[in-house]
């Protein structure tokens, strides 16, 4: 499917319609005041009707909301891959493979902890590129070795195979999970080059931002906790914010790390308010939310500068992910009895 003409017009029209159907800020304000069953009932009257009805008999409360959200997300993102053709498919699939990574990780963890495949299945988000039949086969295998063998047609096969030796020696899942993440991020920018203008240049810029923010997040966490881990092992290549040596140096000095981000030409302005907060505040959560909001806003700007391109799809994907995460945060927050203002702090609202 990756050769031939692409059809951005068609995909754009559909995506924009769905974008418009997402929850508005007022809806969140309403949801914050509801309990889990209220939220489920509210969702039943919207977009999520089919999922809530399908799962309503088996689950209840927050679990019902969570699984319905996952399933709905998977449905919409799967549609995106279904509609798009050619170049557009390639660009969308690059980003959506992150759900493949999530699914494979979940399945491997399930095998490792000997969880029944039914339970694992509930936690999958079938939005990636790996098709359903492969995932079903993955759910049936009993050993990690067989699972890797099942993936032999995908881009994760080689890296997993390499990491498998280390796994056998240490018995820890970390090398396998790192291999998956690495394969995903390396593929994200592979053979896209550095286009200078047009929507694709902005798409590359966005993917770079994704990598930069991931690096920044990891570095901040390491600097914050002072954990004795090798930062180079978690460094992801391809971003513009850090080089590997810079990152290793900065991790030891928290203030300098924040200044480094603030000084960067590309992100300094957009994130300035978030960075001031970060200097003073105690928690990273606020900063991470600011990062996400900045990405979201950026993607929105892109989709109006280049109406018929991959940008609109990208902005929809981000907005949808945000919606799912917000609803989940509200439901979980209500469940553990957080106050309304505390939950509001957890939400990413533009």
Partner 1 sequence: MFEITPEIAMAVLQGATLENFTDSGAAAIAVGLAALATGYAQRGIGSAAVGAMAEDDSTFGKGLILTVIPETLVILALVVVFLV
- Interface residues with partner 1 (CB under 8 A) are 7, 9-14, 17-18, 83, 308
Looking at the Cβ atoms of 6 and 326, the one nearer to partner 1 is 6
CB of 10 to partner 1, least distance (A): 4
CB of 8 to partner 1, least distance (A): 9
Looking at the Cβ atoms of 18 and 221, the one nearer to partner 1 is 18
267: closest CA among 311, 317, 217, 312?
A: 217
* Dihedrals phi, psi of 267, to nearest 5 degrees: -110, -15
179: closest CA among 236, 111, 244, 253?
A: 236
Structural contact between residues 15 and 80, judged by C-beta atoms closer than 8 angstroms? yes
Token digits for 180? 């998956």
Cα of 25 vs its chain's centroid, Å: 21
Looking at the Cβ atoms of 11 and 223, the one nearer to partner 1 is 11
- Could you tell me where the DSSP H helices lie in the chain? 8-20, 25-32, 36-44, 49-55, 61-83, 86-112, 117-123, 132-140, 144-150, 157-170, 174-189, 199-225, 244-250, 254-263, 272-280, 285-305, 310-335, 340-346
CB of 87 to partner 1, least distance (A): 15
Structural contact between residues 216 and 210, judged by C-beta atoms closer than 8 angstroms? no
CB of 80 to partner 1, least distance (A): 12
Strands (E), the chain: none
Looking at the Cβ atoms of 193 and 307, the one nearer to partner 1 is 307
The length of the chain, given as a count of residues: 350
Looking at the Cβ atoms of 10 and 165, the one nearer to partner 1 is 10
CB of 6 to partner 1, least distance (A): 11
Looking at the Cβ atoms of 15 and 258, the one nearer to partner 1 is 15
CB of 14 to partner 1, least distance (A): 4
């Amino acid at each position: 499917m990756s050769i031939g003409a692409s059809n951005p017009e068609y995909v754009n029209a559909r995506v924009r319609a769905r974008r418009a159907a997402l929850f508005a800020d007022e809806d969140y304000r309403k949801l914050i005041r509801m309990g889990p069953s209220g939220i489920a009932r509210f969702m039943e009257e919207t977009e999520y009707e089919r999922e809530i009805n399908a799962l309503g008999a088996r689950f209840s409360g927050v679990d019902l909301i969570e699984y319905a959200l996952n399933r709905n997300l998977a449905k919409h993102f799967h549609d995106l891959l279904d509609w798009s053709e050619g170049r557009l498919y390639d660009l969308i699939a690059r980003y959506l493979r992150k759900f493949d990574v999530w699914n494979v990780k979940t399945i491997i963890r399930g095998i490792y902890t000997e969880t029944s495949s039914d339970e694992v299945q509930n936690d999958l988000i079938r939005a990636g590129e790996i098709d359903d039949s492969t995932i079903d086969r993955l759910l049936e295998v009993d050993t990690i070795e067989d699972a890797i063998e099942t993936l032999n047609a995908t881009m994760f096969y080689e890296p997993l195979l390499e990491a498998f030796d280390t796994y056998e020696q240490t018995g820890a899942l970390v090398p396998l999970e790192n291999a998956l993440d690495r394969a995903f991020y390396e593929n994200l920018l592979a053979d896209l080059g550095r286009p200078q203008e047009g929507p694709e240049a902005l798409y590359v810029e966005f993917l770079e931002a994704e990598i930069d923010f991931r690096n920044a997040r990891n570095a901040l966490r390491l600097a914050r906790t002072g954990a004795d881990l090798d930062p180079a092992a978690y460094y992801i290549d391809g971003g513009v914010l850090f080089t590997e040596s810079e990152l290793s140096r900065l991790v030891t000095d928290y203030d300098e790390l924040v200044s480094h981000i603030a000084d960067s030409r590309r992100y300094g302005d957009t994130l300035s308010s978030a960075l001031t907060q970060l200097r003073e505040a105690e928690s990273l959560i606020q900063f991470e939310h600011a990062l996400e909001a900045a990405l979201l806003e950026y993607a929105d700007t892109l989709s109006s500068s280049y109406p018929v391109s991959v940008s609109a799809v990208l902005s929809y994907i981000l907005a949808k992910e945000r919606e799912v995460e917000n609803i989940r945060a509200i439901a979980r927050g209500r469940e553990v009895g957080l106050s309304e203002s505390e939950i509001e702090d957890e939400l990413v609202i533009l």
